[in-house]
């Protein structure tokens, strides 16, 4: 699959391992997991293949986030993305990293 980053800080995290924006700084262990998860997303042929990776907890989101999907980046974060089907290769647009400790409060 092809990967597109919706926001600049997501691209910086993936390619540089850090972000210049102080608002989006994460622990190094989270950045390593983020890079690993994006690599997995890039390697699969379809989003259905993500079900094989049980630790990712792949799910199609509902409610306010309808139309988006997510996988886990560790216990406290999830990666939110959107899949666009094309004639050749599906495109995954990485939208955000969400902190789950604030999400469930």
Supply the CATH number for residue 6's domain: 3.30.2310.20
Closest CA to 65 of 37, 38, 95: 95
pLDDT at residue 105 is higher than 70: no
Report the distance separating Cα 29 and Cα 33, nearest Å: 6
Query: Model confidence at 90, in pLDDT bands (50, 70, 90)?
Result: confident
pLDDT at residue 81 is higher than 90: yes
What pLDDT shows up at residue 101? 77
Place of tokens 């993500």: 50
Q: Which domain holds residue 8?
A: 2-103
Report the distance separating Cα 77 and Cα 98, nearest Å: 6
How many domains is the chain partitioned into structurally? 1
pLDDT at residue 21 is higher than 50: yes
DSSP 67: T
47-63 tens-digit pLDDT: 888 999 988 999 999 99
- Rounded to an integer, the average pLDDT of 34-56 is 91
């Amino acid at each position: 699959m092809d990967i597109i980053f919706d926001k600049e800080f997501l691209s910086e995290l993936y390619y540089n391992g850090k972000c210049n924006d102080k608002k989006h700084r994460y622990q190094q262990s989270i950045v390593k997991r983020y890079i690993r998860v994006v690599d997995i997303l890039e390697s699969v042929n379809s989003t259905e293949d993500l079900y094989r990776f049980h630790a990712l907890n792949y799910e199609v989101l509902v409610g306010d986030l309808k139309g988006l999907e997510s996988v886990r980046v560790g216990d406290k974060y999830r990666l939110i993305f959107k899949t666009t089907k094309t004639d050749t290769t599906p495109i995954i647009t990485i939208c955000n990293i969400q902190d789950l400790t604030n999400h469930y409060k």
